[in-house]
Amino acid sequence: MASRALNLPNILTYGRIIAVPLVVLCFFVDGKLQSSDFARWSALGIFVIASVTDYFDGYLARAWQQQSNIGRMLDPIADKLLVSTCLLLLAADTDRTIAGWSLWAAIIILCREILVSGLREYLAELKVSVPVTRLAKWKTTIQMVAIAVLLAGPALDKMISYATETGIALLWVSALVTLYTGYDYFRAGLKHIMEE
């Protein structure tokens, strides 16, 4: 049991969970949220490494046949913690990277994550599995790229014009795909709920 919990895929997942407070710490200066260029590049570096582990933990678990219950449980939790924390951080930082109408894109993403998690938990009790679709994987990729660009935000704007605006546009694309994939999951799960 302990060896399964400490296999490399699970260690990568634990690392992704540890990355969450580290990203937040990058933005905290003198007890308040400030986003210096150094803070933003540091947060981006941690986020990129954490995002890459998201691909490798699942890939290695399947390739090495090291799938475990704790890994299946923690992997989606780690993903949601990382995405949710970054979105909240970007809405709260002094630069207000996500503000105004763009907050709706973040709200859509957060609501979908919570709703789909609840649906998956309910369906798991019924022994029903809802597989991740290819479009949902694309949604995750677009979402991660959007958040990465927004974490760099003003620091990246100094190197590439309209970087933050591009990140906001990608966040909206991600939110729209999120709506569709969320609807897809609920449509697939609804027939099992109605049968109850």
Residues 6+ apart with CB under 8 A from 174: 105, 109, 139, 142, 143, 146
Q: What value does the mean pLDDT take over residues 111-115?
A: 89
Q: Quote the radius of gyration of the chain (alpha carbons, Å).
A: 18
Residue 73 tokens read as: 């449980």
Neighbours of 188 (CB within 10 A): 15
Q: pLDDT band for position 194 (50/70/90)?
A: low
- Residue positions counted in the chain: 196
Question: Could you tell me the residue range of the domain that residue 71 belongs to?
Answer: 2-195
Q: In total, how many domains does the chain have?
A: 1
Where in 4-63 does DSSP place strands (E)?
A: 28-29, 32-33
Q: What value does the mean pLDDT take over residues 130-159?
A: 90
Q: What does the mean pLDDT of the chain come to?
A: 86
**Residue 69 confidence (pLDDT) above 90:** no
Q: What value does the mean pLDDT take over residues 70-86?
A: 88
| pLDDT number for residue 148 | 96
**CATH number of the domain bearing residue 129:** 1.20.120.1760
Three-state DSSP class for 35?
Answer: coil
Q: pLDDT band for position 196 (50/70/90)?
A: low
